[in-house]
Amino acid sequence: MLCNVLRMYVLKAEHITKQYESHKALNDVSISVPEGSIYGLLGPNGAGKTSLIRIITQITAADEGRILINGEPLQPRHISTIGYLPEERGLYKKMEVGEQLMYFAQLKGLSRKEAMFRLKNWMERFDIKSWWRKKVEELSKGMQQKVQFIATVIHQPSLIILDEPFSGFDPVNAGIITEEILRLQHEGSSIIFSTHRMETVEQLCDHIALLNKSEKVLEGEVEEIRSRYKTNTFEVDYNGQVLQPCELFSVEQHGIRGNLLSATIKVNTASNPNDILKYLIQQVEVHGFTEHIPGMNEIFIQLVGGEVHD
């Protein structure tokens, strides 16, 4: 209880509503982003994620509601504490990489000397020192992504907002960016990670909010949410007679895993897993007994009705 009382939120959106002509992009949406977290802002395309981000970054304004940054109402000065990587990238194609990064760094308040020091470190980290005099249009989409990522974080923002950051990356470079996101979190940054791709959520996010059709339908810690959606289902690998249902559990599915029989069983809510295992050991030779905890992809599909768009 004490931890909940003392928890600090780097950002709170309270009752945000946004209407675009006949389309309501956000309908009374509230989220709370804990300080130091990687917070997944999830949902299918068109759910309202980007509309909310544009309000946080002051590109647009909410029709109703307010944004708080570290407990203060959002103000123009807060923009210097935010790093924003938009889904639609915004590099100048004809400019050289070094010139462009220097421009963005100075635009965010760094002196030329400090900007050069930080840029050298980042370009060494990404092994792209040879790109300094290349024009952006000469780079692949993935290379451009690296440049834009550096431009997003060069001023060491306390709040980093990444809108579909892995778009255009191959698995190797996606891994490099993942490592950098985790390092930035370790160094104290809070990160909002917007995506409709669930494969990276389990790896990166500790908190999430799920938007669907302009409304928030779920928010909380990832592990707590996964536990909330448990169905008392277990996977059993065994040798012996084929498992039959009993008063303790029903058998949902039979199968074979390697040299073993397998079964998916659904435990009656009144049954204790230890009692189930004790019963199974008396019936068959148990090699595996694992509770099925739903992944975020399962929960996502369940809540948005399969409305996933790539």
Q: What pLDDT is stored for residue 4 in this prediction? A: 46
Pick the more confident residue, 184 or 142.
184
Q: What is the fold of 2-227? A: Rossmann fold (3.40.50)
Q: Is 191 helix (H, G, I), strand (E, B) or coil?
A: strand
For the chain, what is the total number of helices (H) and then of strands (E)?
10, 14
| Separation of alpha carbons 68 and 191, rounded Å | 15
Look at residue 191 and tell me whether its pLDDT is greater than 70. Answer: yes
CB within 8 Å of 150: residues ≥ 6 apart: 101, 119, 122, 123, 126
Q: Where are the domains of the chain?
A: 2-227, 231-292
| Separation of alpha carbons 211 and 82, rounded Å | 22
Look at residue 85 and tell me whether its pLDDT is greater than 70. Answer: yes
How many CA atoms, within 13 angstroms, populate the side-chain half-sphere of residue 6? 3
The full 3-state SS of 3-39, as one line of letters, equals HHHHCCEEEEEEEEEEEECCEEEEEEEEEEEECCCEE
Q: What is the mean pLDDT of residues 266-283?
A: 91
Look at residue 41 and tell me whether its pLDDT is greater than 70. Answer: yes
Kindly indicate the confidence band of residue 306, based on its pLDDT and cuts at 50, 70 and 90: low
For 140-153, the pLDDT digits (tens) are 888 888 999 999 99
From 45, 38, 28, select the one nearest 88 (Cα to Cα): 45
Q: What percent of the chain has pLDDT over 70?
A: 96
Residue tagged 């068109």 (tokens): 46
Q: What pLDDT is stored for residue 113 in this prediction? A: 95
Q: What is the mean pLDDT of residues 95-105?
A: 94
Backbone angles phi and psi of 50, in degrees to 5: -65, -35
CA distances to 96, 208, 219, 235, 294 from 299, in Å: 44, 12, 12, 19, 7
From 181, 218, 196, select the one nearest 36 (Cα to Cα): 181
- Helical (H) or strand (E) element with 174: helix 171-186
Which bin fits 266, alpha (ψ -120 to 50), beta or left (φ > 0)?
Answer: beta
pTM of the model: 0.86
Query: In sequence order, what DSSP letters do the residues of 225-254 get, joined into one string?
Result: HHHHT--SEEEEEEESSPP---SSEEEEEE
Q: Any alpha helices (H) in 26-167, and if so which ranges?
A: 49-56, 97-107, 112-125, 141-153
Look at residue 228 and tell me whether its pLDDT is greater than 60. Answer: yes
Could you tell me if 42 and 211 are in contact, meaning their C-beta atoms sit under 8 angstroms apart?
Answer: yes
Pick the more confident residue, 7 or 51.
51
Q: What pLDDT is stored for residue 96 in this prediction? A: 94
Sheet with 285-291: strands ordered across: 249-257, 260-267, 233-239, 285-291
- Between the two ends of the chain, the Cα-to-Cα distance in Å is 40
